[in-house]
Chains A and B, each alone.
Chain A
Amino acid sequence: MAEFKVHRVRFFDYMPTAIRAMAFNHRTERLAVARADGALEIFNFADNYFQEKVIPGQDGRAAEALCWLGQRLFSAGLNGEITEYDLENLRPRYTVEAYGGPIWSISSNSQGTLLAVGCEDGTVKIFEILEERIQFQRNLDRQKGRIISLCWHPSGTLIAAGMMDMIKIFDAESGRATHRLLVERGVGASKSREVVVWSIVFLSDHTIISGDSAGKVQVWDGLTGTLVRTHLVTKWDVLALSSSQDESSVVAGTSEGTVVQFQFLSSNVGPQDKEWVRTRTFKNHSHDVRALAHTDTAVVSGGMDTQLVVRPLLDKVEKNTQESAMRKIAFPHRSLVCCAKKAGLLLFQFPDHLELWRLGESNGHGSPGDSLPVKRKPEKLIQLKRKGEDHISCSAVSPCGGWLAYSTVSSFRLYRLQNNTISVTKVSRLPKDLRSAQQLCFSSDSTKLFASSCRSSVLVVDLNQSDCKYLHTLRPKSGSSQPVHLLCVSEDGKWLATANTDCLIHVFNLDKLKLHCTVPVYSSCPTAIAIHPTNSNLVVVHADQQIFEYSLVQKEYTEWSRKLQKRGLHPLWMERDTPITHIAFNPKNPAHIILHDTFMFCIIDQNLPLPEAKTPLYNQMTLRSLPESERIMHSHAFKICKHFQHLLCVRLLEDHSLVVVERPLLDIQSQLPAPVRQKKFAT
């Protein structure tokens, strides 16, 4: 049916950074994840674990601890500052210096009125939460030694603090330390080293559970200050603890990469004598598990190996459903690659720089399965270091390859590129409205730049030879405050579609510079949108893997879309666990839609019948073995190619060749530091 020349690119050295901390908001089912480079990611667990928002990091700001307070998110780090984030504009809202040296932990009381932070200088500082700010209230009694971990008692009257060699319980009212629990050091050589209480959990029955650097998970009675039970979990450190909301289960993450579950169970029939029993061990990480969250149905873990693992607890979910499948989220749910399809350029976005590559060339022709001789090797044209402390949040290269733009939370930069001579000129005079953007997009003729900014508005900037001019700001009527995370412009330059994390999709008419329509709202967040070049149909794929086609002319779903909804998508399609991140069209064949996720790319042929639930979805191998005449009987609309894996980008160039950018997990793993040494058999 279709033969493609594929540029298989593996030179994008995308390297995710380690997960440092996470916090789960049980009410909104959002998980906040802090990475070692300071970036913050918000995952929506109610919507297929979709990575809704990414707040780029900043040099010198890495969150050591995260804390939700209602819808508000706070972080604290070793730079000694407490930061509240603006989740609508994807930037820090403000930072407050705690004046206690590096902050190790942050915790709010269950009433949501006070915030406690544990500092290097031995103080626990209480901040009052105001409407717009937080305000320092007082210090609890200063201790010798740093406060590593903190946990409020659910009543809000007590705070347990993990320190070096001990745990202190404070009266939150008086600020006095009421109990001192001594934590035993490790045996052998580690006897001389202080034991660090890395994590602590204070339960409503005054049970304190601690995890420490000697590998112990200890259960204490917080009323009497006595040790109830010690579980030696690992030879290394227990770095993180998290309890379930009903306090019946606690998970501990270790340096060995294991997550150990403890449950509050009665050993006999009688319900009286319950105790904390070690029940399950999960090993899904190769490196330290630094952060844990215990949702109602799953254990979420992350650490040095950069992957976020959602491990459902099989007693809480229905077996053999999608919910019971383990998920590993290794790649971002947005594209870090931008392709100038006319010029054959690839722009790779890193937190601190951009790389512009020109693809190689081959003049050979080959039969399917062949590798063609590479006549010209790909070359790196430009490596552009960002300015300032903030990391790059978005970037784009124009289709002709003549413009390059990137934005951080604080600045926006536009460059003029001369490809033949490889020269970069910064466009100095920018419109003053264009200070920062969340998404960037060039029109296909490279004459316009679209930049999304606050409250889902989109700036339209006109580009000519060497400078740019502000044209208009497109604003949706609804006034949604959520950020735009998808932006696409039609080939003919007539339409601009935006999607935001409120699941709203707006289509603007660029000729009239006003809102054309709003696509009916679907409950799941769009993960990719695109406008068909010839018939102006908007194709939308959502986080729950549903596909819709909406006619912009008729302002209604198309016939094909209705057919698809009626028939339902193939079960195997629905079971995929990575979102579709890009949609493209084949100008040669208007019926073809090209889309991809991490593990496959797919060409949907709208002329072919949709697959039945019972027919095999992945049928390329079968079709290949059949003679041509019989193929048509067995083929269906979804042509899926799994030949390329760990896809970060699939684009169709103007010369109809495909570009696939792969980043094999193995390459990422090989760049990780060595894990803790473990005794393996016969070593």
Chain B
Amino acid sequence: MAALYEGYTLCGLTPSQNLSNSGIQGVEPERDSDHIVVTDSRRSVTLFKVSDQKSLSSWTVKQGQTLTCSAVYNSKTKEYVAVSDSKVIRIWKEEDLHLDKAFKATVSSDIWRVHSAAELEPVVLFQTGAVRFLDSLLSAPKQPIEDVLAQEEAIRWSTNVVTESQQLVIFTTEQKGDNFLYLQRFNPNTLQKYRLEGEEPGLSPLSFSASYKDKHIRLVYLYPNGHVYQSIVPVRGLGADEGAPALPLPRSLLLALPVGEGLLEAASAQVLDEAHVAVVGLPHPSAGAGKDFLCIWNTNFQTLQAGKEMKGKIYGQLWGYSNKLFIPHGKSFSVIPYECPKSSLASALGKLRQTKTAGSKASTSVPSWNNILHEDKANPSKTAETRKTRTTRKSQSAPSLTNDQIMELIKTASVAEVQKEVEGLLSRTDVQDLQPSLGQLAAALVSRSLGEEAFYTPSILAQLVQTRCLCHSMCPDLVLLALEKKDYFLCQLCLQFFPDIPEAVTCACLKTFISMPDSDAEKVNLEPESISLMETLMAGERDPVGLQNGFSPATNDMDQAGGTEAEKKETTTPPEHICPVGLHKGVLLNEVLMTAYSDFFLLPHLKDLSPQHVVLFLRYLQFLYLKYSQDAFPQMHGLRSPTLTQIMDWVCLLLDAHFTVLAMTPEAKGLLHNLHTFVKSQVRLFSELGKIEGSLHELNKMKVNKDIGQYSIEVIELF
């Protein structure tokens, strides 16, 4: 979950009179992640040490001169490069006090910007679109500069991108409302021109942000209507020659952000990583129309991850270097550290899909968006709390290790030692605070267990799962590990608490459970509550049969077989009323029934079950269904139990997956016949309901109030 931390002010701003711009021209990284060079829009360049909130030195050009592009740091020569009055390149070192005495070179054409990357030669981009390396330009400052761009075409934004082998300069231009993207490669020098797809007429992108990954440049740009588009530009050239027509640049809509009223004027989007975009100058979706927010959005899930209100006017400027965002707002220039850890679907969605079952238990501690957005401190879940108190008692005096130390420990130490330390950790801190690290912890434990046959810590894993902070996507191997180790208790917990178990894994669990001999199953320790549910189900085996939904297997059989068979049934319990599986096996199967799934994905995996297992499972489902039909069973006990709908869905799925096989299996015949009669009775019930539907509609209509006008003549009767 991405987070914005408490920010701090780096320096004050002197915005222009009408607050139209912030007074900052550019922010560039310096020697390391803690130093930046800030160029203001008039005459000075300042070097900051960010963590100290301190300016180390500052340089100013003479009165009457203006810096026209932001100063960059050439890490190769440890020099700063800036341009004054568009044509004069100035180069100086940190120890130089006066810029006027520093090196100057005047070039023949206006410079747009100088780009510099670590350990690479700075590149000079001219306003004409021409590009030169700095050293080659300085060797002949007065060399002629060619016109690359057309008349009335002007550069709007530029950056340099460093790939594994080379550096590239990309810049966007605008010409009569059309926007183009140029990609300049060196060695050999090629220039590729792309045309950006037009948004609504009159809209030009407000900001661009580029990043490089896997031989492609990812360009993210924000339009004034709040749309954030992404275009992927291949680094490898297409071999197009100079002057070729501009290629259309395909784009995809990444985010459609709420803009409040009107269009955006000053806003900016900055790519943070593959999945996250920082946006400034847009309203917070749940905080009214004010546009002074800095937000981090997850582009994969289209979810807001973090938001922060910025005091004062937003200028639509935003820079991000090494996990810090730099943003001028109002009269200050702030640094806001952020974090974008890898996000899982479960934590991005924030809510369990099984709302019904979750409702009966304490709420999960996978954070919910509502809570985070409204800073509503949700009550820590009940189980977590009790667990905490319980474990605190156990190990209060244990020497404390930090997270990282424990991670190291897990890689090497013995089972007992790991157990002790992790338990200690869990008892010390609030589970809520631990949440991000719990996943890493579990993943580390699982990977060690997988790698090392002898290493397995069932109780710790169970404890971790029970914190409800884990999900399948955080440690994907956990369930399979539990299956492998025959730790069915852990399996049960995972099925119960993970909201995002893939259908394949669910099916694997089902397969293991159904094929497990009953004798094995009875040895397993399982959650007592689920066992008690199963016990109640099985205890009622010989109880008389009630009716629900008008369906009673006895009466249906009577319809077809006549009275004699029905008499027989009164004396002996019909086979479908005896639980076909053992107690513990039933408990485990119930857990499978209660997991969330999508039938499209589940169906192919279900086909892997053998016919015998399918028949057994179907008989168990039928048993459950009959039990449920007898009375309002699940509601009465208030226990976590599969619902009637879940059972019926599984019956349908199984039949869908295996119908042809079942039709040919002799032992399945009786079962299919029973199910068929059941379906028939249901169809009959619904047709009866259909018949009275018309009357029910009439009842509804009766209550409609007539609109009474100014005058009417009515007939009434008094009795």
Could you list which residues of chain A lie within 8 angstroms of chain B, going by C-beta atoms? 1-11, 360, 362, 365-372, 374, 377-378, 603, 620, 623-624, 631, 635, 639, 641, 643, 657
Contacts and interface: CB of A to CB of B under 8 A. Distances in A.
A3 B716 contact: yes
B19 to A, nearest CB: 23
B715 A3 contact: yes
B543 interface: no
Nearest to B706: A371
B719 A623 contact: yes
A527 B657 CA distance: 82
Contacts of A635: 719
Contacts of A366: 715
A210 to B, nearest CB: 36
A261 to B, nearest CB: 35
B708 A4 contact: no
B704 interface: no
Contacts of B404: none
A368 B711 contact: no
Contacts, number: 77
B708 A10 contact: yes
Contacts of B715: 3-6, 365-370, 372
B719 A8 contact: no
A7 B715 CA distance: 9
Contacts of B719: 1, 620, 623-624, 631, 635, 639
B711 A360 contact: yes
Interface string B696-719: 000000000010111111111111
B712 A371 contact: yes
A634 to B, nearest CB: 9
Contact of A372 (B706, B709, B713, B718): B713
Interface of B: 706, 708-719
A10 B719 CA distance: 26
B714 A370 contact: yes
Contact of A639 (B708, B710, B711, B718): B718
Contacts of B716: 3-4, 6, 368-369, 641, 643
A377 B713 CA distance: 10
Summarize B's interface: helix, strand, loop or mixed: strand
Contacts of B712: 8, 371-372, 374
Contacts of B710: 9-11
A8 B715 CA distance: 10
14 contacts: A1-B718, A1-B719, A3-B718, A4-B715, A4-B717, A6-B713, A7-B711, A365-B715, A369-B715, A370-B715, A371-B712, A372-B715, A374-B713, A641-B716
A3 B718 CA distance: 6
A374 B714 CA distance: 10
A8 B716 CA distance: 11
A367 B717 CA distance: 9
A362 B708 CA distance: 17
A374 B716 CA distance: 16
Most buried by A among B706, B710, B712, B716: B716
Given A8-B708, A10-B708, A3 B713 contact: no
A3 B711 contact: no
Contacts of B706: 371
Contacts of B711: 7-11, 360, 374, 377-378
Contacts of B708: 8, 10
A422 B549 CA distance: 72
B713 A4 contact: no
B286 to A, nearest CB: 11
Q: What 8 A-B pairs come out closest when comparing CB atoms?
A: A368-B717, A623-B719, A372-B713, A362-B713, A639-B718, A11-B710, A366-B715, A3-B717
Most buried by B among A3, A360, A371, A623: A371
A590 to B, nearest CB: 17
A562 B269 CA distance: 90
A355 B264 CA distance: 59
Contacts of A620: 718-719
Contacts of A374: 711-713
Given A1-B718, A3-B717, A603-B718, 4 more contacts: A1-B717, A2-B717, A4-B718, A8-B712
Nearest to A639: B718
A6 B717 CA distance: 10
A371 B716 CA distance: 9
A643 to B, nearest CB: 6
Contact of B714 (A8, A603, A623): A8
A10 B713 contact: no
A268 to B, nearest CB: 36
A2 B710 CA distance: 25
Contacts of A367: 715
A6 B711 CA distance: 10
A10 to B, nearest CB: 5
Contacts of A7: 711, 713
A657 B714 CA distance: 10
A6 to B, nearest CB: 5
A657 B719 CA distance: 17
Contacts of A11: 710-711
B261 to A, nearest CB: 16
B715 to A, nearest CB: 5
B33 to A, nearest CB: 44
Given A8-B708, A10-B708, A10-B709, A372 B714 contact: yes
A11 B717 CA distance: 24
Contacts of A9: 710-711
A603 B709 CA distance: 26
Contacts of B713: 5-8, 360, 362, 371-372, 374, 657
A365 B712 CA distance: 14
Contacts of B718: 1-4, 603, 620, 639, 641
A542 B66 CA distance: 96
A6 B709 contact: no
Nearest to A601: B718
A378 B709 CA distance: 12
A4 B714 CA distance: 8
Contacts of A369: 714-717
